Homo-oligomer: A and B are copies of this chain.
């Protein structure tokens, strides 16, 4: 039986990256596209509970049929698995995102969120991002996806694990291979641009850039800089186990005890 592959993204169903992903994986299984109607970048792991979620069939003249969803990437995966597909897919793939999802930006990423949701639902999942904001070499990311999908369909993934894949924006021949990595320690250095509207009301635009902290050895950021496709296994258990052990006797007494 052919593998069932669910694809989504956060750039929206009309983005070029999801078409590149579709074209890359179409030979590998039966592909269903369920993606946001509009761009949903930086939505983190949001879900839509205060509004209804609208679903609309979409036919892209340049390729696929799919479903456009008036919600977030996590909504798309929940809805596809819970309602639109006859059975859970064998694999969830989110992407191909225009822009890297490395270091702390993973926390804000809608692309990663779709794959996280897949892993929460117990489905092997990966998020794929192309590390550039301009002149994307989709072909390189497409080349990277195929062997990863083949391997996951054959071997699976460790339980409760998703793979966060970041592809350098270099020609295929310049890529040095795949490299497992960890999420780089980093933070955004925020810049708020303060403006006022004609009535004098103040508003801000959030801007900023990623600043790496500590050395980069073994990180996603370093792998991409070294022209490797970075493969970072992530999970959705946020417990800081080392801190939990360290906090053994930390708790204050209860006020009335």
Alpha-carbon distance A241/B242, docked complex (angstroms):
12
Shortest beta-carbon distance from A30 to chain B in Å: 22
Binary contact track A95-112/B, C-beta < 8 Å → 1, others 0: 000000000101110000
Q: Is A176 an interface residue (CB 8 A)?
A: yes
Q: Is the CB of B146 within 8 A of A255?
A: yes
Closest to A48 in B: B206
Given contacts A39-B50, A120-B187, whether A251 and B239 have CB atoms under 8 Å apart is no
Interface membership of A204, Cβ < 8 A: yes
In the complex, what residues of B have CB within 8 A of residue A191's CB?
82
Provide the bound-state CA to CA distance between A251 and B175, in Å.
14
The verdict on A19 contacting chain B, using a C-beta distance below 8 Å, is no
Q: Is A183 an interface residue (CB 8 A)?
A: yes
Which chain B residue has the least Cβ–Cβ distance from A146? B255
Q: Which residues of chain A from 223 to 257 have a CB within 8 Å of any chain B CB? A: 229, 231-244, 246-248, 250-257
Whether B243 pairs with A161 at a CB distance below 8 angstroms is yes
Q: A1-25 interface mask toward B, CB cutoff 8 Å, 1 = contact, 0 = none? A: 0000000000000000000000000
Asked whether any CB of chain B lies closer than 8 Å to the CB of A132, the reply is: no
Inside 8 A of A63's CB, which chain B residues have their CB? none
Give the distance in Å from the alpha carbon of A52 to the alpha carbon of B181 in the complex: 35
Provide the main secondary structure of the chain A interface. mixed
Whether A58 sits at the interface, judged by CB under 8 Å, is no
Partner of A247, one of B48, B233, B254: B233
- Considering the chains assembled together, what is the distance between the CA atoms of A253 and B122 in angstroms? 27
A49: chain B residues within 8 A (beta carbon): 41-42, 206
Across the interface, which residues of B come within 8 angstroms of A202, CB to CB? 54-55
Q: Binary interface profile of A, 143-184, with partner B (CB < 8 Å = 1, else 0)?
A: 100111011000101101100000000001101111111110
| Nearest CB of chain B from residue A198's CB, rounded to whole Å | 14
Given contacts A147-B255, A194-B83, A233-B240, contact A75 B206 (CB under 8 A): yes
* Nearest CB in chain B: distance from A201 CB, A: 7
The one of B46, B56, B157 in contact with A108, judged by C-beta atoms closer than 8 angstroms, is B46
Do A248 and B83 touch (CB < 8 A)? no
- Determine if A212 is an interface residue (Cβ-Cβ < 8 Å): no
What 5 A-B pairs are tightest by C-beta distance, nearest first? A44-B45, A44-B44, A178-B251, A233-B243, A235-B240
Nearest B residue to A54, CB-CB: B203
Is A53 on the interface with B (CB-CB < 8 A)? yes
